[in-house]
């Protein structure tokens, strides 16, 4: 494994991305790049009002404060990872999310559309669709994740097959899984920065013990695995391969880190790209 810092994201816009890669999602599937970043693809001036709306309709709380609700992560949307064990209830919940998202963004540019449109621009000769089951039932289109003080994502991967073994879901057919993450609000910048870190290490069964035992950082240091921190500002969108070990350090301070996220299923020989949350 090379130790030079040559594993860099491609950014800041579609033109540069396509100048560098004929088929950017294929490059991502091979982890040739850690991430594809669209800078300022959504006008961040809209976020304070959008966040106010999420608070006013009771979908999230402002900060940790003195709340009865002590969850360190609030989801607005339908998470397959968290709800997928009960398929019927997952799909019902997803239908409610579709209903909610029909009017939640009234008066704003629709940030979900922005993610899908960026992904379509990257998808050479493939059709981007919301994931669905053969009977037509849709998965959730995207999810806001609000992370409060102390919330962290330890080194992990996301993969419906390799990690979650969800063979009863249609998205199981895709070999590769990506995430798309639009930064809505950063945590308070005075503490350590709460920005995602991607490791140049694709998951294999041999890596799993280091994830389970919490020793991945030692393993990475011993094996000189490159890492790439993705520094985002509100309005920036990044796509990455979720089979690369990745993490987000703990939120510090009173300002929650908020993202709008999707998962993406991709196979070289499949003319569809499925999106869910």
Ligand X SMILES: O=C(O)CCC(=O)C(=O)O
Q: Which uninterrupted H or E stretch holds 17?
A: helix 14-20
Task: Kindly indicate which of the ranges 48-56, 167-175, 202-210, 242-250 contains the residues binding ligand X, using the contact rule CB under 6 A.
Answer: 242-250
Q: Determine which residue in the list 79, 97, 241, 242 makes contact with ligand X, applying CB under 6 A.
A: 242
Give the helix/strand (H/E) hosting 245: strand 244-248
Nearer to ligand X, 17 or 196 (CB): 196
Judged by beta carbon, residue 24 or residue 155, the one nearer ligand X is 155
DSSP string, 40-109: T-S-GGGHHHHHHHHHHTTSS-SSSTT-S---SEEEES--HHHHTTSHHHHHHHHHHHHHHHHHHTTTS-
Cis peptide before 92 (omega within 30 of 0): no
Query: Applying CB under 6 A, does 261 fall inside the site for ligand X?
Result: yes
> At closest approach, how far in Å is the CB of 158 from Fe ion?
4
Interface with ligand X (CB under 6 A), residue from 196, 244, 251, 260: 196
Nearer to ligand X (CB atom), residue 227 or residue 246: 246
The two three-digit tokens of residue 55, written as one number: 């608070």
Q: What is the smallest separation between the CB atom of 134 and ligand X, expressed in angstroms? A: 26
What are the DSSP calls for 28-39, one per residue? HHTTSSSEEEET
Is 115 a binding residue for ligand X by CB under 6 A? The answer is no
* Residue 158 in contact with Fe ion, rule: CB under 5 A: yes
Helices (H) and strands (E) in the chain, counts: 8, 12
Least Cβ distance, residue 238 to ligand X (angstroms): 7
Q: Is the dihedral of CA 253, 258, 263, 268 positive or negative?
A: negative
Give the nearer residue to ligand X in terms of CB position, either 128 or 248.
248
> Which one of 24-32, 82-90, 120-128, 240-248 is the stretch in contact with ligand X (CB under 6 A)?
240-248
d(CA 119, CA 127): 10
Q: How far is the CB of 92 from ligand X (least distance, A)?
A: 23
Please count the residues of this chain forming the interface with ligand X, following the rule CB under 6 A.
10
Instruction: Establish if 158 lies at the interface with ligand X (CB under 6 A).
Output: yes
| Binding of ligand X by 153 (CB under 6 A) | yes
Q: Which is nearer to ligand X, 97 or 242 (CB)?
A: 242
In the block, residue with structure tokens 């499949």 = 270
Q: SS3 for 248?
A: strand
User: Using CB under 6 A as the criterion, which residues of the chain lie in contact with ligand X when the complex forms?
Assistant: 153, 158, 179, 181, 196, 242, 246, 248, 259, 261
């Amino acid at each position: 494994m090379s130790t030079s810092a040559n594993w860099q994201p491609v950014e800041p816009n579609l033109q540069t991305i396509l100048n560098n890669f004929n088929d950017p999602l294929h490059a991502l599937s091979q982890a040739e790049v850690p991430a594809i970043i669209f800078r300022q693809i959504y006008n961040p001036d809209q976020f304070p009002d959008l966040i106010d709306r999420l608070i006013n309709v009771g979908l999230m709380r402002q900060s940790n404060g003195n709340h009865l609700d002590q969850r360190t992560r609030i989801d607005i949307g339908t998470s397959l990872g968290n709800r997928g064990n009960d398929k019927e209830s997952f799909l019902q919940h997803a239908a409610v999310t579709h209903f909610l998202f029909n009017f939640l963004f009234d008066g704003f540019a629709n940030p979900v559309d922005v993610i899908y449109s960026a992904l379509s621009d990257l998808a050479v000769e493939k059709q981007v669709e919301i994931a669905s089951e053969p009977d037509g039932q849709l998965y959730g289109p995207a999810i806001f994740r609000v992370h409060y003080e102390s919330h962290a994502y330890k080194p992990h991967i996301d993969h419906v097959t390799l990690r979650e073994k969800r063979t009863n879901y249609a998205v199981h057919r895709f070999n590769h899984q990506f995430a798309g993450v639009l930064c809505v609000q950063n945590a308070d910048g005075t503490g350590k920065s709460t920005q995602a870190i991607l490791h140049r290490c694709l998951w294999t069964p041999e890596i799993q013990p280091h994830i389970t035992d919490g020793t991945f950082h030692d393993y990475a240091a011993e094996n000189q695995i490159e890492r790439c921190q993705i520094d985002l500002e509100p309005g920036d969108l990044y796509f990455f391969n979720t089979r690369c070990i990745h993490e987000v350090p703990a939120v510090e301070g009173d300002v929650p880190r908020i993202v709008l996220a999707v998962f993406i299923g991709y196979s070289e020989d499949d003319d569809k790209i499925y999106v869910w949350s």
